[in-house]
Amino acid sequence: MTALDLSSPVAVVGTGTMGQGIAQVALVAGHPVRLYDAVPDRAREAATAIGARLDRLVEKGRLTAADRDAARARLRPADDLAELADCALVVEAVLERLDVKQELFRALEDVVSPDCLLATNTSSLSVTAIGGALSHPGRFVGLHFFNPAPLLPLVEVVSGFATDVTSATRAYETARAWGKTPVACADTPGFIVNRIARPFYAEAFAVYEAQAADPATIDAVLRESGGFRMGAFELTDLIGQDVNESVTHSVWQSFFQDVRFTPSLAQRRLVESGRLGRKTGRGWYDHREGAERPEPHTAEKRQPPAYVVAEGDLGPASELLAMIREAGIQVREEDEDNGSRLVLPGGGQLALADGQTSVEFRDVVYFDLALDYRKATRIALSASQDTGARTVSEATGLFQALGKDVSLIGDVPGMIVARTVARIIDLAHDAVAKGVATEEDVDTAMRLGVNYPLGPFEWSRRLGRTWACSVLDDLHQRDPSGRYAPSLALYRHSFATEKREGAS
């Protein structure tokens, strides 16, 4: 099954931001495009707005004047659904309400030809449920574009329970012909991206609710240590707190209130107060004109230790040993079967975040996971009220000697980056095991859909196949609610690896 021929008209129903973006994508690809909106004159206004964006593409050298003129000639507002009768594909981008979408597609079935492909751009509703209202649901598919549709490459092609393979394939190939990067997924709450991305927000909010760090510090650690493009607080301010919470709530409800997807009470209070982010001027941050952006916590300069004793290889943080030597600090190595840590001159220990807490041990400082310890510009350290001041000072000075800003946070298990990455890896394994998507498509979706520096399976391979399960096991012991319980898929993945290594 191949992509739609460029001579085939494509219709977009709903002319808000997403509808206009999808229409522009199809138009620039070369299709005749029909625009329809139930609100009178809105389709014509949308056509004018799309024309203005085409003008800007010409000004930026991304489109020739001739191609712009040809595209404008192919764009036509429609006053009635009947004008969509000759379309080969209709994509809806209307209100996120099941009844509204079902009513629209029932009406479309009476208008379009039997072989017309029908698609929804829903981000939170069940494709199966929307298609369940149709007489011929086999031709119904989800085409979930990401905003702004003309710029972001990812399209989730979602097969409902009744979607024919030929329909899903045609939708997939059409999206690819439009210059997008499609990924195939089953109809599951949140699809790929909005399902697997929940911990990125949830864990940041949980650290904040535990009063372990403020939003600016958590965001800085996620960016400067974790390698994420934006922190969770600034990103949700950009998305809109109401929108982000709505998606979280929808996924949570759709999974029968699974504790792994529980919404944040702190975010709920933010929404209730009307602080929705950039669009209202205030969210986690104050975005009003003249407002100062809060700075992350950054520790004062401390003296580095003269030496450290390395017990074990530090696992995912093993690169630190070479960096410490390069900074002129002596590293004395000792074989140690009971874990990996650095022993500081004062007798205190420095260990990579593992889901345990500092208060459980004598004089231990934890340091957070980094995507790349050489490139990271900030490292978070975690200590309890019982950790010695000398140990905290030596640990701080050590990382400062490596050229890092240091943020001291509260004694929370898994810290910030480690717990977030571990949970993302777990949800990815769970999704693949349940047939939602392939490992390759999951990695592609998370890199392109939310700009993660690595896909979950890329991260898993880099960190070691047992790393995430071990961190989550430790977290689960300290919070037995089930939120951090590793999925059966991750357990199988980790145990099988250990078994093979043990037998070799």
Q: CB-based contacts of 99: which residues, under 8 Å, 6+ apart?
A: none
Buried b (16+ CB within 10 A) or exposed e, 230-267: bbbbbbbbebbbbbbbbbbbbbbebbeeeebbbbbeeb
195, 436 contact by CB (below 8 A)? yes
* Known active-site residue 156: yes
CA distance 317 to 301: 23
CA distance 352 to 368: 6
Which DSSP symbol is given to 292? P
Residues in the chain: 504
91, 11 contact by CB (below 8 A)? yes
Provide φ and ψ at 345, rounded to 5°: -55, -35
* Known active-site residue 297: no
Out of 194, 244, 250, 487, the active site residue is: 194
CA distance 26 to 245: 30
* Known active-site residue 394: no
Q: How far is CA 462 from the centre of its chain?
A: 19
Dihedral, CA of residue 331, residue 336, residue 338 and residue 342, to nearest 10: -10
Q: CB-based contacts of 259: which residues, under 8 Å, 6+ apart?
A: 481, 482, 483
Out of 121, 123, 124, 460, the active site residue is: 123
CA neighbor of 4 nearest in space, from 146, 102, 141 = 141
SS3 per residue for 12-80: EECCCHHHHHHHHHHHHHCCCEEEECCCCCHHHHHHHHHHHHHHHHHHCCCCCHHHHHHHHHHEEEECC
Buried b (16+ CB within 10 A) or exposed e, 405-444: bbbbbbbbbbbbbbbbbbbbbbbbbbbbeeebbebebbbb
Within 13 Å of residue 231, how many CA atoms lie on the same side as its CB? 23
Out of 144, 297, 429, 493, the active site residue is: 144
Please, which residues bridge with residue 156 across strands? Answer: 144, 183
Tokens of 75: 């764009």
Out of 31, 109, 121, 156, the active site residue is: 156
Q: How far is CA 151 from the centre of its chain?
A: 17
* Known active-site residue 144: yes
Give the residue numbers annotated as catalytic, written as ranges. 123, 144, 156, 194
